[in-house]
Amino acid sequence: MGAIAGVVLTIALFAFVFWPEKNPFFQADKTRIDYLRERKDVIYENLRDLNFEYLAGKYPEQDYAEQRASLEDEAAQVIAEMDTLEQRGMRARGRA
């Protein structure tokens, strides 16, 4: 009886671990909108970090201005592409 329970438990464990939807290593395909949204979040985080480090005195004025302008330009490009794709009807995964 114990051997049968052990076999059933082992099969159930393997099914749970290796079932595709439950597998943490299984990654769903991302749409371009998903990628751009993640990129936008990273750019905003970099801008916050840059502002914090500038206020802490780690960056000279000229370097800060150049990096900030570069990040803001990149953010504008990402947002413009997101708007274009959303107007064409593309949606992010997981959003209705």
DSSP letter for each residue of the chain: -HHHHHHHHHHHHHHHHH-TTT-TT--PPPPHHHHHHHHHHHHHHHHHHHHHHHHTT-S-HHHHHHHHHHHHHHHHHHHHHHHHHHHTT---TT--
Summarised one tens digit per residue, pLDDT across range 4-47 is 988 888 888 877 777 666 555 666 677 889 899 999 999 999 99
Place of tokens 């004025």: 61
**Chain mean position to CA 73:** 20
Q: Residue 68 CB: number of other CB atoms within 10 A?
A: 16
pTM confidence score: 0.65
Q: How confident is the model at residue 50 (pLDDT cuts 50, 70, 90)?
A: very high
